[in-house]
Chain A
Amino acid sequence: MRRHISKIGGRKGPGSFAGVLSFPSFGVSGLSGLLIAISIFFLLLSALRPQVLTSVRVGTADAFAPVLRVVSMPLQKSAVFVRDITGLAAIQAENARLVEENIKLKEWYQTALLLEAENKSLRELMNLKVDPQNTYITARILSDSNTNFVKSLLVSAGSDAGVEKGQAVIAGGGLIGRVVEVGVKTSRVLLLTDMNSRVPVIIEGSRQHAIFAGKNKRNGVLVHMPPDSEVKTGARIVTSGLGGIFPTGLPVGVIQSIDSAINVQPFADFNRLMHVRIISKQVDPNLRPGVLESVNP
């Protein structure tokens, strides 16, 4: 019978002793050293000139998209199955809550219909120009960063579906982030909870402008607010539309607590996301693309 024998190829360092933990000497072979040097070169390049590697990043994501699509589907279904069978009690409680909520929503629906009709007639009276309606591109989540220090998603819609860099992404009742990289078949979404994410928002009620800043946690914080601003727990936060990246009025979250910082809990549940909706940028009919004409002397 064949026997497994592991060939011991450990290098004897100056502090080594058979059978005893030796001092690490980290002997670097030629190939390993070269590969480490290449890695460090890439690290420095991506830190100093990140745009240089964008095409490589996007190309790799596009190449792996079919594999990720096939692998993620059964895993997502099994996660939902596990969640369903382990959370029967939670489902019952949620069902009771939803029944109550549904009764209230039916009342609100009637009110909304009345208000909609009233709004329509008032707009017609005042000849008010209404913002165009948003259009959406729905995409499935293929991959996420799976780390605590970067919060991003790879989704299954790219430039061929009309996705553009900077578009807002919503899911689960609220804003989740914005598109930062676009490939042909895939796009990368930077989540609003990432520490590099900043979203201009407005606090409903007080109409106070602020910036929602991610901090790599489930919640974010509000920054750049005047010290005397009135903020209450439970106030809704929506996008202000300043800067032109996000449309106005997208729900972001709710103020959860106020201590040394104003903590905001996003409406979207990032743990349960499977699909996202990318909001197509609105085209202003008053603007038309400029044409750069060459000037001949």
Chain B
Amino acid sequence: MGPYETISDRLEVFVRMSIPYSLLCFLFLLSVVSVPYPLSALLHAPLLLIAIYYWSIYRPALLPSWLVFGIGLVLDLLTGLPFLGFNAVLFLLCRLAVIDQRRFLTGQTFSVIWLGFCLLSVLFHLLQWMMFSALSMQIVPVSDFTSPLILGVFVFPLICLFLHLSHKALPPPIVRAKSRLGSQKSNMVL
């Protein structure tokens, strides 16, 4: 018998799984909604990049590439960016870069994770600046990209705390493993 076969178990899994997705949805809405000063200053931080970074390290299956693509695409459409797919391609590249370094980042201390985000954020904003300058065929001032970069680095611990709390609410992952005695697959909750 599998790990989540009763209705109550499935309901529990559904409720637990909805917590990080609700948080992700909230971060997305914060990234597009209009809020006057002083809260507007905080919302310039790359909140979705923090979420993508966190889940790509600790639970990549929760945020698959198609979902990252969808988030980026809808973000482009709602924020009125003249270039559709701009955030989608950047988010996908960041997800790939983080998953590539997962072996190193998993199990590291928070300060190393934070430093990793700083590096990723620098790369993200540098790439953003290069792409935007190339597509708009003019050199956009670098200062336009530095304030969200700095803000993101400072906001990271706070957002990370909420992401960590939602992570703790998640059910443990199901590891599909081959049985020793045959080729039949079995589900295990570790």
| A contacts, CB < 8 Å to B | 2-13, 16, 18-22, 24-29, 31-32, 35-36, 38-43, 45-47, 50, 53, 56-57, 60-61, 64, 67-68, 71-72, 75-76, 78-80, 82-83, 86, 141-150, 152-154, 181, 188, 195-196, 215-216, 271-274
Contacts and interface: CB of A to CB of B under 8 A. Distances in A.
Interface in B29-82: 29-40, 43-44, 58-60, 64-66, 68-69, 72-74, 77-82
Q: Interface majority SS on B: helix, strand, loop or mixed?
A: helix
Q: How large is the interface on B (under 10, 10 to 19, 20 to 34, 35 or more residues)?
A: 35 or more
Nearest to B171: A2
B101 to A, nearest CB: 7
Given A26-B97, A29-B65, A10 B78 contact: no
A43 B89 contact: yes
Contacts of A75: 30, 33, 35, 39
A28 B96 contact: yes
Given A31-B65, A36-B89, A83 B81 contact: no
A146 B81 contact: no
B99 A10 contact: yes
A18 B167 CA distance: 25
B77 A82 contact: no
A273 B36 contact: yes
A36 B29 contact: no
Given A32-B96, A76-B36, A272-B37, A53 B44 contact: no
B20 interface: no
Most buried by B among A12, A39, A153: A39
B92 interface: yes
Given A6-B106, A21-B104, A35-B69, A146 B36 contact: no
Given A6-B106, A57-B77, A79 B65 contact: no
A271 B74 CA distance: 24
A83 B29 contact: no
A276 B120 CA distance: 37
Interface string B155-190: 000000000000110111101000000000000011
Given A19-B104, A71-B33, A143-B32, A42 B92 contact: no
B75 to A, nearest CB: 9
25 contacts: A2-B171, A3-B172, A5-B190, A10-B102, A10-B106, A16-B103, A26-B96, A35-B68, A36-B92, A46-B84, A47-B135, A50-B82, A60-B74, A64-B32, A75-B30, A78-B39, A79-B37, A143-B32, A148-B148, A181-B80, A188-B80, A195-B138, A215-B141, A216-B141, A271-B40
